[in-house]
Amino acid sequence: MLLEEKSSRLQILEREIKRKGDWFISATETVQNEGVSNYPILIAHQNAEIGIGLVVIDSQKENLYWNYNLTTLEELATKKIIGADRIDDFRHLYKSKTDHFCVFLLEEESQFIFIPYPK
C-alpha cells in the first residue's frame, strides 16, 4: 500500500471516529461500566464479517468507509491477536491514553492506533 493511500485511509478513519465520537464513547463506557472489560477496543475494517467482537456500525447503513466492531483486550488475547507476552505492555499503553479511543485497524498491515476523543 502506498504511503499516500495509507495516510488517506487514516484521515478517513479519524474523521469517522470524530463524527461518531459520542456514540463510540457511550459504547466503550458501557463495556467498562458493565464490568465486561476495562479495555474496550474498536476494530475498523472493510470486511463483511471478521469473527471478532460485535458489529456496532455497518459502513453501508451509515454511509461510512469503515465498518466498526467492538471488542476487548481479553478477546484479542484469547484469539492470540495480542500475545500473552504483550498484554502487560498493552495495558500500560492503554491506561496512558485515557482520553483516546483504542482502534485496531484491521487491514493488510494491521495496527493499533489511539485517536483522541472529539472535543
First-to-last alpha carbon distance for the chain, in angstroms, is: 31
Residues of the domain holding 51: 3-116
- Tell me the pLDDT band of 5, cut-offs 50, 70 and 90: confident
pLDDT of residue 2: 62
Question: What does pTM read for this prediction?
Answer: 0.91
- Per-residue pLDDT band for 1 (boundaries 50, 70, 90) equals low
Cβ within 8 Å of residue 85, ≥6 positions away? none
**d(C-alpha 81, C-alpha 59), whole Å:** 24
Count: domains in the chain? 1
Summarize pLDDT for 19-70 with one digit per residue, the tens.
999 999 999 999 999 999 999 999 999 987 899 999 999 999 999 999 999 9
Looking at the chain, how many residues does it have? 119
Residues 115, 75, 80: CA angle, nearest 5 degrees: 100
> Above pLDDT 70, what percent of the chain?
96
How far, in Å, are 8, 31, 63, 76 from residue 92 at the CA level? 29, 19, 35, 16
